[in-house]
Amino acid sequence: MPVPAPSYWQASAPDFDGGRTDAVGGAFDVAVIGGGFTGLSAALALARSGASVALLEAGRVIGAASGRNGGQCNAGTAHDFGALASSFGIDRARAWYLAHCDAVDTVERIAAAEDIDCDFIRCGRAKLAAKPEHYPKLEAAYALLTKEVDPHVELVPPGRIGDEIGAREFHGALIQTTSAQLHPGRFGIGLADAAARAGAAIWENAPVTRLLDVDKGWAVDTPRGTAAAKQILVATGGASPYAPFGWFRRRIVSVGSFAIATEPLDAELVAQLFPTRRNYVTSRIIGNYFRLTPDNRLIFGGRARFALSNPGSDLKGARVLESTMHRMFPALSDARVDHIWGGTVDLTADRLPRAGEHDGLYYAMGYSGHGVQMATHLGERMARVMGGDAAANPFASLPWPAIPGHLGKPWFLPMVGAWYKLQDRLH
């Protein structure tokens, strides 16, 4: 098995060469902190609107979660729609579900408008019933979705699951046909290139270590210099160790997610195992997600361990994933694994994203596994909010209390993992 390295997406994307190499400095309308999908889509939208923009990234653009995911761009929230409606009411649940669908449209529109070659395709997502008793839940979800919010879903009964996937352990599926997939590395580099072309000043390897509230704006300190800005958008996620972002760390739990990519598979075997070439997720709480690349590699991922990503965790997670893949698809037992990687998923307590303003700082983060589309969408939406269109934020009404006992390091992950494993065995 290979050693942990950049993700398959990062390894197969072009380099970004549009960054600034001089010292950080100057005065800007907006400083965007973070060079993932949120920050890059916001920087692009702001620059296109005529604002002067500085984007400050602690490492390399698309170097963190935005470049280390499963490459799925799915419609629908992280929740069962019925549970969301029960908790928040049908109108808010519908608005948030449709915001996630709009987010896929946003990714497609930006990729087309900026001519980003990222293999975007509407393939649909199949949620696979991992146990016989899970299929009635998919039936109920299908009935509610088609009635209330999404006519573009389909139901695959257990007797026809072989039409969708060549694995005996599944017992039906719910398909969201508007979901898509893409190459997130090439999409992210394309966003960075587009933002730079539009006039955004992008500094990599420039972590923000201090924010000073000064007259009519902010001073933004980095080891490479200081920039001035009238407004700030925080697009870091919850993992930043620097003091200015402590308020956000207390509201986000960062957990590891792990993935492997096989060698290119035989075309006939692919046709047998994955005849519809969709995005796939399983219905277990600690489930798996997988999809094919255009050259027939299988990207297979999941929360194989309840631990943060690091080289040791990534390797252990990859071994768990490879074993699971072999059990699910015995025909792949001889397939070579070419890439292994880990990343971070930023979870909010209710698994809904957050966007808004706190103490003069605008922010968008906490995408809870739906970051490819929601980060891109909310980055663009928050650019509109910062320009004066408060109604552009679909999550403005959501309160965001701190998670009790959580100061930034998720000490409780092993206990959460044990609880989820128990629930998977029982339900």
Whether 78 shows a pLDDT value over 80: the answer reads no
Task: Please write the tens of the pLDDT for every residue from 320-369.
Answer: 999 999 999 999 999 999 999 998 889 898 999 999 999 999 999 999 99
Alpha-carbon distance of 44 to 379, in angstroms, equals 9
Whether 35 shows a pLDDT value over 70: the answer reads yes
Quick one: average pLDDT of 119-146? 96
* pLDDT value for 242: 76
* pLDDT value for 79: 73
Quick one: average pLDDT of 243-271? 93
* Rounded (5°) CA angle 45-53-118: 45
* pLDDT value for 278: 98
Whether 126 shows a pLDDT value over 70: the answer reads yes
Answer with the residue of higher pLDDT: 415 or 381: 381
Alpha-carbon distance of 202 to 406, in angstroms, equals 33
Alpha-carbon distance of 230 to 52, in angstroms, equals 10
Quote the tokens at residue 285. Answer: 């709480």
* pLDDT value for 276: 97
CATH annotation of 8-417 = 3.50.50.60
Alpha-carbon distance of 25 to 228, in angstroms, equals 7
* pLDDT value for 17: 96
Write out the DSSP string of 96-140: HHHHHHHHHHHHHHHHHHTT--S--B---EEEE-SSGGGHHHHHH
* pLDDT value for 298: 98
pLDDT confidence bin for 426, thresholds 50/70/90: low
Alpha-carbon distance of 43 to 188, in angstroms, equals 12
Q: Under 8 Å CB-to-CB from 329, ≥6 apart: which residues?
A: 166, 167, 273
Quote the tokens at residue 49. Answer: 């609107």
pLDDT confidence bin for 159, thresholds 50/70/90: very high
For residue 330, count CB atoms less than 10 angstroms from its CB and return exposed for 0-12, middle for 13-18, buried for 19 or more: exposed
Helix (H) or strand (E) holding 280: strand 279-282
Alpha-carbon distance of 240 to 108, in angstroms, equals 29
Quick one: average pLDDT of 316-321? 93
* pLDDT value for 169: 92
Does residue 360 contact residue 230 with C-beta atoms inside 8 Å? no
Whether 424 shows a pLDDT value over 70: the answer reads no
Answer with the residue of higher pLDDT: 414 or 399: 399
Whether 54 shows a pLDDT value over 70: the answer reads yes
Whether 286 shows a pLDDT value over 90: the answer reads no
For residue 334, count CB atoms less than 10 angstroms from its CB and return exposed for 0-12, middle for 13-18, buried for 19 or more: exposed
Does residue 175 contact residue 197 with C-beta atoms inside 8 Å? no
Whether 166 shows a pLDDT value over 80: the answer reads yes
Whole-prediction pTM:
0.94
Q: pLDDT exceeding 70 applies to what percent of the chain? A: 93
